[in-house]
Structure 1
Amino acid sequence: MEPIVPFEPVRHETIPLTGEWIAQIKWDGVRLLTYDDGRGVWLGNRRGRDRTKHYPELVEVQRYCRCQSVILDGEVIALGPDGKPSFHEVMRRDGIRRMERVEGMLSVAPITYMVFDVLYLNGVWLTKRPFTERQNMLADILLPDQSVQLVTNHNDATALFEVVKEFGMEGIVMKRPESPYLVAGKNDNWVKVKNYKDVVAVIGGYTLADSGKVNALLLGLYNGEGELWYIGHSGTGKLTEKEWGALTGILQLQEIDERPFANTPDRRKNAYWIVPKYTVKVQFAEWTSHGTLRQASIQAFVDMDPHKCVFESV
């Protein structure tokens, strides 16, 4: 099986009030597709990167799915200390680069695979079938356990969104009952409504504390002309002191003489510029009138092509 590019929802600021919709919780995790052709199993992220060794809990597909062959679509999540899905926690697993560390992380950062679609089953592609039909088939074949769960469907999107807000979760996704699954597509058949704002931004520079450790990241997005524009800085978030320390050594190896930003950052005094190759997920309150992020908070590093971090995606 060749990896596919998954269907993506379009972002809406408010819940659509017209038409028929099925709503699901949007989990703050990492997109993961499971491929089982009957001869072997392969796990891949939205970019087609191999994640099979990252999540050994999910390799035995026959344990949680009645099938001869299948492609499942879902999201891997991990819970934070507050019992809510935490992007930072799941990235402790997804960001592992030395595979010998995986076994030790199974109990430190346990994951759950939240499955929301089935694209292929027993030799038959289902992508052209209606969403509701795929959901019925998925409910019939999935065998939930502590590592795998079926994402539930809700008819009242407004009520679901209120629950999501109450518990401080990421948001909801609304899907039209008749919608096919558009491989490598993105349209209004699937709509996401966020409870809070976030963006994946590029690191273009940093500042140091008196201790010599990084204390703030300077962030940017690319415009339509391929220029990196400064959008603000952040020195807070989910990174631990140990992670800030490790980051210091990584960024110092990427230093360059000229700033990579087309505009002039307000936090340029004592800033160090770097090659814009690293990306982070940033949660923020709002955009200011100056085009910068207010109350930006670093959530985790993200495996993303920096040039896809563009204003048009926000």
Structure 2
Amino acid sequence: MRLKFIPPLMPTLVEKPPEGDDWIHEVKFDGYRSQIVIDEAGTRIFTRNGMDWTAKYPDLVETAKVLNVDSAIVDGEIIVPNEAGLADFAALRKAITRRQHDLYFVAFDLLHLNSHDLCDLPLEHRRELLVGLIPAGSRIQFSESLPGETKAIFHLLDQAGMEGMVSKRRKSKYRSGRSINWVKAKCYAVDEFELLGVEREAGKPAFALMGEIGTRRYVGSAFINSSREIRERLWKRVQEHAGPAPKGMKRPATQWVKPGLIGRVKHLRGEEDLRHASLQDFREEDGFRK
């Protein structure tokens, strides 16, 4: 029987991870959500959107033979660990085309096994079956649940520079689409970006529009919830150094600024662009006032 890709169950973003014995907690890996499908036709690897990327992952396709199953559908994340053992998203993109041996598949759920649909089984039972399939020392690894008290786990992940954690109800069935049976809580990072302009409209919060330092590529907006002193100083600098809008950007309520203002932004870790971001402070590069 030829198996079909199953659209993944997607966790809901929450501010804080849930507590209690009804939940298991895992590391949220910074990689590509993927699905390994094994059947009589061979091994295929799909993206989270169902695109067949088997040809892009020849090493992992070969590695999947260690599972020693007739048929299976395994849900997981493709990552590249750095020297500290943390998933490195930037390295992942390069590894797909240049260093296949750096790729790992972290497996966290089993949806099908040897002609049996497992989606109606409780999560903890599916994971028991999954861990029994994965031999030690392989580049297919099991996503271990994290022991301990929820707040302490999350604090340790944050201190270690992890993206966050995913919490899953032990008894939950697997259902495609967004779910509250799986939730993700993300850690925050603080980084510097170039200020492109400030968006202000009467009766609405003000936002700083941020870009990559050097390229000024727009990466998102940051809520300006800094102190009154910082807000007033920022607006004064923006007015003094008004400039043209970056190429291709049209936002009528925005006062654009010349290059030279660098903002310190708190934002969710592990996102390509800014999410849940706030401007903490800003500085001026040398020569900005000239």
Asked if structure 1 preserves the Cα contact closer than 8 Å seen for 2:35 and 2:47, the reply is: yes
Name the CA distance, whole Å, in 1 between partners of 2:212 and 2:71. 52
Name the CA distance, whole Å, in 2 between partners of 1:56 and 1:42. 10
- Residue aligning to 1:105: 99
Q: What is the letter of the counterpart of residue 105 of structure 1?
A: R
CA change 1:132–1:216 in 2 (3 A) is same
1:175 matched to 2:165? The reply is no
Cα offset for 1:288? 4.3
Name the CA distance, whole Å, in 2 between partners of 1:143 and 1:53. 24
Asked if structure 1 preserves the Cα contact closer than 8 Å seen for 2:38 and 2:71, the reply is: yes
Asked if structure 2 preserves the Cα contact closer than 8 Å seen for 1:29 and 1:87, the reply is: yes
Q: Specify the SS of the correspondent of 1:117.
A: strand
- Over the matched positions of the two proteins, sequence identity in percent amounts to 26
Cα offset for 1:264? 3.0
TM-score in terms of structure 1 length: 0.63
- Residue aligning to 1:158: 151
Name the CA distance, whole Å, in 2 between partners of 1:92 and 1:28. 14
Cα offset for 1:262? 6.5
Q: What RMSD, in angstroms, separates the aligned Cα atoms of the two structures?
A: 3.4
1:9-30 superposed Cα distances (whole Å, 9 cap, x missing partner): 1111112235611111111111
Asked if structure 1 preserves the Cα contact closer than 8 Å seen for 2:106 and 2:141, the reply is: yes
- Residue aligning to 2:80: 78
- Residue aligning to 1:252: none
Name the CA distance, whole Å, in 2 between partners of 1:262 and 1:50. 42
Q: Specify the SS of the correspondent of 1:189.
A: strand
- Residue aligning to 1:119: 111
- Residue aligning to 1:215: 215
CA change 1:65–1:19 in 2 (3 A) is same
Asked if structure 2 preserves the Cα contact closer than 8 Å seen for 1:67 and 1:122, the reply is: yes
1:67 matched to 2:69? The reply is yes
Name the CA distance, whole Å, in 1 between partners of 2:282 and 2:132. 46
- Residue aligning to 1:247: none
- Residue aligning to 1:29: 31
Name the CA distance, whole Å, in 2 between partners of 1:78 and 1:294. 33
TM-score in terms of structure 2 length: 0.68
- Residue aligning to 1:259: 249
Q: What is the letter of the counterpart of residue 52 of structure 1?
A: T
1:87 matched to 2:89? The reply is yes
Q: Specify the SS of the correspondent of 1:91.
A: helix
Q: What is the letter of the counterpart of residue 187 of structure 1?
A: S
Q: What is the letter of the counterpart of residue 174 of structure 2?
A: Y
- The structure with more radius of gyration: 2
Cα offset for 1:82? 4.8
Unaligned runs of 5+ in 1: 95-101, 199-204, 221-230, 233-255, 270-279, 296-314
Q: What is the letter of the counterpart of residue 164 of structure 2?
A: G
Asked if structure 1 preserves the Cα contact closer than 8 Å seen for 2:46 and 2:52, the reply is: yes
Cα offset for 1:88? 1.1
Cα offset for 1:136? 0.8
Name the CA distance, whole Å, in 1 between partners of 2:212 and 2:81. 31
Name the CA distance, whole Å, in 2 between partners of 1:135 and 1:294. 47
Out of 272, 280, 285, the residue aligned to residue 281 of structure 1 is: 272
Q: What is the letter of the counterpart of residue 33 of structure 1?
A: Q
CA change 1:174–1:208 in 2 (3 A) is closer
Cα offset for 1:219? 3.6
Out of 116, 123, 133, the residue aligned to residue 141 of structure 1 is: 133
Name the CA distance, whole Å, in 2 between partners of 1:31 and 1:208. 26
